[in-house]
Structures are given as structure tokens and as C-alpha cells.
Amino acid sequence: MSKKDFILYIIFGVFFITIYFWSNTLIQSAASWPKMVSVIGLVLSFIGIFRYLFRLIKKNLANSEVYPVINKKIVLRSLFLIIIMLIWIASIKLLGFLFSSLIAINIIVQFFTSTRNFKKYTFNFCITSIIVAGMYYLFILLGVSFPAGKIF
């Protein structure tokens, strides 16, 4: 099946849709056959369109390299993220929302940073802290109350 066939299926599909809507203007007894023929033609056109798209996708998948969706590195990173989030949730009552959020989000950002040097860590820490504190105070101005900790 070529691209020309695909375009032809689309043209026939539009033609059969036009015939179907045109047959709605006819009386009921005269409209039954054109409607039936247009529905059958439309179904066959859609089958042709789907066959072409299916072959195109199959061809593209055969040419592409397949990478495993889940590997050991992804599982370990996910587990780390889940553990940090659970510790974050547990520490909200003790440290308060702002301080626990600053710590947890900075740990997550530092963990997922690609370059490992002191300058990049410092920059990420400053930017993350400013954003977290800014969002916290923005929500305070909007009237949202956050849990206060026992320590801070």
C-alpha cells in the first residue's frame, strides 16, 4: 500500500461522508440505500486508512532501536524519590512545611543534577530555596495555611 492509496482512501472517505449527509435530505424510503452504501464505503475507507497507518507504525518500529522501559537505574531512582517523599511527609509535623520542603526539594534537585561540582550544587541550592520560599509566601499571602512544626 502506497501513499497514493492512503490519499485515495481519505478522498473516498470524504466522498462517502458527503453522500451520507446528502442522503439525509431525501425522504426516508429513498435515503436507505445511499446511506447503507455510504456507511459500507466509509467503513472500508477507514479500514484502508488504518491498514496504512498500522504498516507505517510497524515499519518505523522495526527501524528504531528498542530500549527497555524499566531498568535497574530507573528503579533505584524511583525508590530514592519515593523514600525522600515519605520522609518529607513524615517530617512536616516535626519541622514544619517550609523547612521540610526546602530540605526535601533540595535533596531531590541535587540528586538529579547531571553535573557534580560544588559551584553547581550551590547554584541549585540557592535557586531552589528561593523558589520554594517564594511559593510558600505566595500561598501564605493568598490565605493558605500550612502546618507549623514543633521545632521550627
Reply yes or no on whether the pLDDT at 106 is more than 90.
yes
Q: To the nearest whole number, what is the mean pLDDT of the chain?
A: 86
- For residues 78 and 71, what is the distance between their CA atoms, to the nearest angstrom? 11
pLDDT of 108: 93
105 vs 60, higher pLDDT: 105
Is 150 in a helix, a strand, or coil? coil
Average pLDDT over residues 9-16: 89
Interior angle at CA 143, CA 139 and CA 146, nearest 5 = 65
pTM, whole model, 2 decimals? 0.53
Share of the chain above pLDDT 90, in %: 34
- For residues 45 and 50, what is the distance between their CA atoms, to the nearest angstrom? 9
pLDDT of 145: 86
Reply yes or no on whether the pLDDT at 68 is more than 70.
no
Q: 88: closest CA among 99, 77, 104? A: 104
- For residues 21 and 26, what is the distance between their CA atoms, to the nearest angstrom? 10
Structure confidence at residue 65 as a pLDDT band (50, 70, 90): low
> Which range (41-45, 67-71, 81-85) has the least confidence?
67-71
